[in-house]
C-alpha cells in the first residue's frame, strides 16, 4: 500500500499543465484544408432576420394574452445582393410578419421593407436603407454546378447567429417535392436547420449558387437532405420583383408530365429522347385555341429541346403575356409545329383563400337557455383544436351574441381578416383568434 501511495504522489508532482501548440499549419497545407479566407470574405454578405409573425389562430384566457400570442417570434436568414441594400430571402420567412429586423455580421441591426414576394418559388426581396457599407455576395451561374462539388451553407440556424456548414452537391434539378409550385432544387448534405431558410449556399470560391429553402427530416433537424433554389432560377424573379413588386407569369393552359420509359420507347421522331406529355388542355385556353391536344408529345419550346416538365413549366411562366411561343410536337407519330399566344397566369392560391365566415361553417351552433352554444365541430377542421362542444359564445369582435341570427349578422358584415371570439368554457373565459387562411383541408361534408 505504501509503494502505491508513493507512486501516485510522485506522479502528481511530475505532472505538467497541458499547453497549446502555437505552431500554425504550413501555408500550403492550410490552403488545401481550410476555407477560412474564402468564408471571411463571403460571411458578411449573409444576414440574420428576425420578426414577429401573425399566427393563424390562438386561444388565451384574456384578450391581452391573446394579443401577445397573436404575434410569435420567427427567425431566418437572407443574402445581400447589392450595395444599395437589396436582400434576398424566402417568402415563408417574411410572409405575414411585422417589424422586420436585419442583423448584419458586424452586429448592426437595420429595419427592412418588403419590396416584393413570390410564394410560388418561395422567394422574397427586401430593402434596407442605411449608411452602413454593405457587402453584396458574388452570384454565380448555378448551371455550372456539378454533383460532387463542395458547398457551404451559411445562415442563422435556430436563431443562434451566423453559422457555416460544409457539404457537397448531392443532386441537381430535384422536382415534385411539393415545396413550391416550381420545384427545381439543388440538393446538398451541408447541414441546414430551421433558421437557415433564406441563407446562402455557396461554392468553394464563396460564390452564391442557391438560396437555402427546405429540408426533409423526420427529427426536425438536419439529416443531410437540404434543398436550395438555384441562382439561375432566382435572378429573373428577383429582377421582376425589384421592378414591379410582384411576379407576372405566362400561361398556356396546359398540364404536362414527364414521359415514362415505356412512352419513350414508342417515340420514333427526332434523334433525341426528350419530351413531355400533354396530360390536360384547359378549355378556352391559349393552347386549346391554338389546337394543342391531350396526348401530344412536346419536343421543343421556342427551338430549345424540352428537358423535363418542370423546366417547361418554368419556361412558360417566364414568358410575358401576349408573347407568341412556338412548340414542336409529335402527334400520332407525325411532327407538328404550333404557335401559341401566351396569356397571363392566374394565381391559383387566390382561389383557395378561405374567409373567416367559411372557416366557421365547421362550427355548428345551437341556442340553449338564452346562450349560443357550440354543438359540434367538424373534426377535419383546424378549428376543432380551438372549439369544444358546450362552449358558450359570448361575443364576436366585442359584439355580444345572444342568438344564432346575431352571430350570422356579425359574420355577414365582417370585413376584417381576423376575428376574436369570446367564449365561456366550464365557467372560464377564453378568447379565440381566427384568421382567414390558405385552405389546407376540406372539412365540408
Residue 50 among the catalytic residues: no
Max Cα separation, the chain? 103
Q: Which of 328, 324, 383 is nearest to 358 (CA)?
A: 383
Neighbours of 363 (CB within 10 A): 21
Marked catalytic residue, from 118, 122, 189, 203? 122
Cell numbers standing for residue 142? 448555378
CA 196 to chain centre: 11
Marked catalytic residue, from 140, 142, 197, 308? 197
Q: What are phi and psi of 190, to 5 degrees?
A: -60, 135
Beta carbons of 325 and 319 less than 8 angstroms apart: yes
Beta carbons of 116 and 241 less than 8 angstroms apart: yes
Beta carbons of 189 and 235 less than 8 angstroms apart: no
CB-count burial class (<10 Å; 0-12, 13-18, 19+) for 255: middle
For residue 113, CA distances in Å to 126, 253, 360, 368 come to 6, 35, 34, 50
Residue 132 among the catalytic residues: no
Q: Which of 321, 324, 320 is nearest to 302 (CA)?
A: 324
Beta carbons of 121 and 181 less than 8 angstroms apart: yes
SS3 37: helix
d(CA 171, CA 165): 18
Pairing outcome for strands 418-425 and 399-400: unpaired
Q: Which of 35, 92, 66, 20 is nearest to 420 (CA)?
A: 66
CB-count burial class (<10 Å; 0-12, 13-18, 19+) for 371: middle
Indicate the helix (H) or strand (E) that contains 288: helix 286-290
Cell numbers standing for residue 233? 432560377
CA angle 141, 146, 151 (to 5 degrees): 80
Q: Which of 150, 175, 143, 179 is nearest to 165 (CA)?
A: 150
Residue 228 among the catalytic residues: no
Marked catalytic residue, from 45, 50, 77, 92? 92
Q: What are phi and psi of 93, to 5 degrees?
A: -75, -40
Beta carbons of 165 and 150 less than 8 angstroms apart: no
- Which amino acids are annotated catalytic? 92, 122, 197
Amino acid at each position: 500500500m505504501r509503494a502505491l501511495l508513493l507512486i501516485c504522489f510522485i506522479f502528481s508532482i511530475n505532472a505538467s499543465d497541458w499547453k497549446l501548440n502555437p505552431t500554425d499549419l504550413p501555408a500550403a497545407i492550410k490552403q488545401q484544408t481550410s476555407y477560412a479566407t474564402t468564408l471571411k470574405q463571403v460571411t458578411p454578405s449573409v444576414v440574420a432576420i428576425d420578426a414577429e409573425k401573425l399566427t393563424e389562430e390562438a386561444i388565451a384566457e384574456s384578450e391581452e394574452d391573446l394579443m401577445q400570442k397573436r404575434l410569435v417570434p420567427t427567425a431566418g436568414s437572407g443574402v445581400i445582393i447589392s450595395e444599395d441594400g437589396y436582400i434576398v430571402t424566402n417568402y415563408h420567412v417574411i410572409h405575414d410578419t411585422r417589424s422586420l429586423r436585419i442583423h448584419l455580421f458586424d452586429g448592426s441591426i437595420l429595419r427592412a421593407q418588403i419590396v416584393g414576394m413570390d410564394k410560388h418559388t418561395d422567394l422574397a426581396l427586401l430593402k434596407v436603407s442605411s449608411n452602413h457599407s454593405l457587402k453584396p455576395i458574388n452570384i454565380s451561374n448555378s448551371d455550372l454546378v456539378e454533383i460532387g462539388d463542395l458547398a457551404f451553407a451559411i445562415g442563422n440556424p435556430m436563431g443562434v447567429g451566423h453559422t457555416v456548414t460544409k457539404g457537397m452537391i448531392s443532386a441537381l434539378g430535384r422536382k415534385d417535392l411539393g415545396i413550391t409550385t416550381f420545384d427545381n432544387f439543388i440538393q446538398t448534405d451541408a447541414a441546414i436547420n430551421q433558421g437557415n431558410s433564406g441563407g446562402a449556399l455557396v461554392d468553394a470560391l464563396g460564390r452564391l449558387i442557391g438560396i437555402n429553402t427546405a429540408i426533409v427530416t423526420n427529427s426536425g433537424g438536419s439529416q443531410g437532405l437540404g434543398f436550395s433554389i438555384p441562382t439561375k432560377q432566382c435572378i429573373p424573379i428577383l429582377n421582376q420583383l425589384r421592378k414591379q413588386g410582384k411576379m407576372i407569369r405566362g400561361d398556356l393552359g396546359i398540364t404536362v408530365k414527364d414521359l415514362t420509359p415505356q412512352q419513350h420507347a414508342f417515340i420514333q421522331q427526332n434523334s433525341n429522347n426528350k419530351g413531355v406529355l400533354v396530360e390536360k388542355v384547359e378549355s378556352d385556353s391559349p393552347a386549346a385555341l391554338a389546337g394543342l391536344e391531350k396526348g401530344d408529345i412536346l419536343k421543343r419550346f421556342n427551338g430549345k429541346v424540352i428537358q423535363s416538365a418542370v423546366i417547361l413549366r418554368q419556361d412558360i411562366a417566364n414568358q410575358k403575356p401576349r408573347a407568341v411561343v412556338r412548340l414542336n410536337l409529335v402527334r400520332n407519330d407525325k411532327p407538328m409545329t404550333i404557335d401559341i399566344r401566351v396569356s397571363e397566369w392566374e394565381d391559383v392560391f387566390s382561389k383557395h383563400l378561405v374567409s373567416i365566415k367559411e372557416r366557421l361553417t365547421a362550427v355548428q351552433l345551437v341556442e340553449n337557455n338564452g346562450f349560443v352554444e357550440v354543438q359540434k365541430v367538424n373534426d377535419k377542421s383546424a378549428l376543432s383544436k380551438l372549439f369544444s362542444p358546450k362552449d358558450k359564445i359570448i361575443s364576436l369582435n366585442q359584439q355580444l351574441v345572444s342568438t344564432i341570427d346575431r352571430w350570422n349578422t356579425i359574420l355577414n358584415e365582417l370585413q376584417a381578416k381576423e376575428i376574436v371570439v369570446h367564449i365561456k368554457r366550464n365557467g372560464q373565459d377564453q378568447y379565440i383568434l381566427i384568421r382567414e387562411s390558405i385552405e389546407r383541408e376540406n372539412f365540408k361534408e
